[in-house]
Amino acid sequence: MTQLKQLQEEKTFLYNQLQKCKRKIDLLPDGDLRIEKNGKYLKWAWMRATGVNGKKERTYISKENKDFASKLALKTFLLAKVQDIELQLLTIDQQLNQSKKKTSTTSKVWKDILTDSDFCSLLPMEEIASIDELAAWQAAPYERSSEHPETRTIEMQDGTMCRSKSERQIDDELIRYAVPHRYECCMQLGSEIIHPDFIVRNKRTGKIYIWEHFGRMDKENYFNYFIYKMRLYIKNGYIPGVNLIMTFETDTQPLNISEIRNMIELYLI
């Protein structure tokens, strides 16, 4: 699949998701939900705009009226999702137009909602079904590389042995951000079987990326291996910045933890 076709398909998918969200929002109550905390106690506040200077009026919702609070939570969730999808569509349009301007592909509002367990507890199960599907993918067994086991000397959090401290750092951060991922999973690419460092999936869309860490770029033989692998990936539709994530290091320039986090926040959450 070409980069252009992949971007167009992703744009179509996101546009359809946007329209679904807007149709759902039209059926939900006016106003929005604010969750207020007082120690260990939670209050649900219904916030509605009044006619006076656009001020919002607060009405507390009883615990017996959880269904109404859930509807308001769903509305806030969907509005944040709309904002996030629109940001993704803007980024895709920039890529399609070959714009050099970079835009973050994840909105802060969306990230805040997904990490708020009190808020997410009010959402309908079908709205977080995709998260469950990704969890099942993460938990499913898969065939790992059996090549050069003697070079796997570093233990990761789940007990899997990896080949470098940098790979362990990437794994640690993927776990910290709860990004579904597989290490050295066997994968058919054209006529070859390869074992990417990581296969990862976006937490919201489920989109699959390959993440390769190239850790010895100052070594000539390794650099030649990098060129070979890039040709293989690009030939088979894996394009850097589209569905291929890459990190690099040399002996004098080790991998920086902030670079790992930037990649995760840009592509995967």
Long-range contacts of 50-57 (CB under 8 A, 24+ apart): 56/31
Using the 3D structure, point to which of 58, 82, 115 is the last residue of a domain: 115
pLDDT digits (tens, 9 = 90+) for 55-98: 788 899 998 999 999 999 999 989 988 998 888 888 788 777 75
Q: How far apart are CA 16 and CA 19, in angstroms?
A: 5
* Cα 19 → chain centroid: 21
Whether 25 and 106 share a structural domain: yes
Gyration radius from the chain CA atoms: 22
* Cα 45 → chain centroid: 30
Mean pLDDT of all residues in 104-121 = 64
CA angle 164, 216, 264 (to 5 degrees): 60
pLDDT digits (tens, 9 = 90+) for 124-154: 655 655 556 777 788 778 889 999 999 999 9
pLDDT digits (tens, 9 = 90+) for 5-18: 666 777 888 888 89
Percent of the chain with pLDDT over 90: 44
Residue 1 is predicted with a pLDDT of 43
Does residue 125 form part of some domain?
no
The total number of structural domains that make up the chain: 2
Residue 103 is predicted with a pLDDT of 45
CATH of the domain at 191: 3.90.1570
Structure tokens at 22: 């807007």
Look at residue 117 and tell me whether its pLDDT is greater than 60: yes
pLDDT band at 101; cut points 50, 70, 90: very low
Using the 3D structure, point to which of 83, 115, 147 is the last residue of a domain: 115
Whether 153 and 247 share a structural domain: yes
8 Å CB contact between 185 and 196: yes
**Amino acid type, 190:** G
Whether 23 and 64 share a structural domain: yes
Whether 143 and 259 share a structural domain: yes
**Amino acid type, 166:** S
Whether 192 and 106 share a structural domain: no
Domain that holds residue 19: 3-115
pLDDT digits (tens, 9 = 90+) for 177-223: 889 999 999 988 888 889 999 999 998 788 899 999 999 898 988 99
Cα 122 to Cα 69, 75, 218, 227, 235, distances in angstroms: 7, 11, 52, 49, 45
Residue 130 is predicted with a pLDDT of 57
Averaged confidence pLDDT in the chain:
84
Whether 111 and 140 share a structural domain: no
Q: How far apart are CA 62 and CA 46, in angstroms?
A: 10
Does residue 230 form part of some domain?
yes
Whether 19 and 84 share a structural domain: yes
Look at residue 28 and tell me whether its pLDDT is greater than 80: yes
What pairs with residue 56 in β-bridges? 49
Residue 126 is predicted with a pLDDT of 58
pLDDT band at 26; cut points 50, 70, 90: very high
